Amino acid sequence: MVCPWSLLSPSGTVVPENSGKTFAQVVAASCDIQLNQLPPKVFIGDTVSIKISQKEYEAGLEECKSNLHGRLTLQKGDPPLTTKTLKHKLDGLWPNLKNWSVIPLGKGYFEFKFHSIEDMRKIWAMRVINLKPGILRFFCWSKDFNPQSQVQVHAQLWVRLMHFPQEY
């Protein structure tokens, strides 16, 4: 079987794999993995690099059309929710929804994978869910999303207007 990913050398040329298997194929096949079974390490600068074919990239983008991003905002002093707890709470709120998953992205952000675009649209229509504790806001999935570069755009606050007439 030909691997859809090709390793690149520092000069950018394709390096043939020793075993003819990808890292994932080797790991899935056995728990007893020898280092010589893995593709050779290829460094570009200080990082290990792989090349993903255009076909695989487009297939991945297609799979993400039924995904949403979400941000869980907790009040000061609220205990953090684990991903497992969040999934359990949402399972209770979405009893008719099957085959969905949640992946933590960091900084309170999550990626939600739904079985179909229709399921995703049902959840996206809610926009905000009060989880008690916490508020979960959904927004459109976008490629190259990085939680570290996001800026807080929502804040919860109370406003008290003194001496303001009742009718306003």
**Per-residue pLDDT at 42:** 74
Average pLDDT for the chain: 78
Residue of 110, 115, 69 lying closest to 87 (CA atoms):
110
Per-residue pLDDT tens over the stretch 77-100? 888 888 999 999 999 999 888 889
Question: What structural domains and CATH numbers belong to the chain?
Answer: 5-52 (no CATH), 63-149 (3.30.70.330)
Rounded Cα–Cα distance for residues 52 and 5 (Å): 5
**Per-residue pLDDT at 154:** 66
**Regarding predicted confidence, which is higher, 159 or 128?**
128
**Per-residue pLDDT at 134:** 87
Q: What's the chain's length in residues?
A: 168
**Per-residue pLDDT at 81:** 86
pLDDT band (50, 70, 90) for residue 68:
very high
Strand partners, 110: 70, 104
Among residues of the chain, what percentage have pLDDT more than 90?
27
CA-only gyration radius of the chain, Å = 22
**Regarding predicted confidence, which is higher, 43 or 136?**
136
pLDDT band (50, 70, 90) for residue 146:
confident
**Does the pTM of the predicted model rise above 0.95?**
no
Rounded Cα–Cα distance for residues 6 and 58 (Å): 16
Rounded Cα–Cα distance for residues 125 and 165 (Å): 36
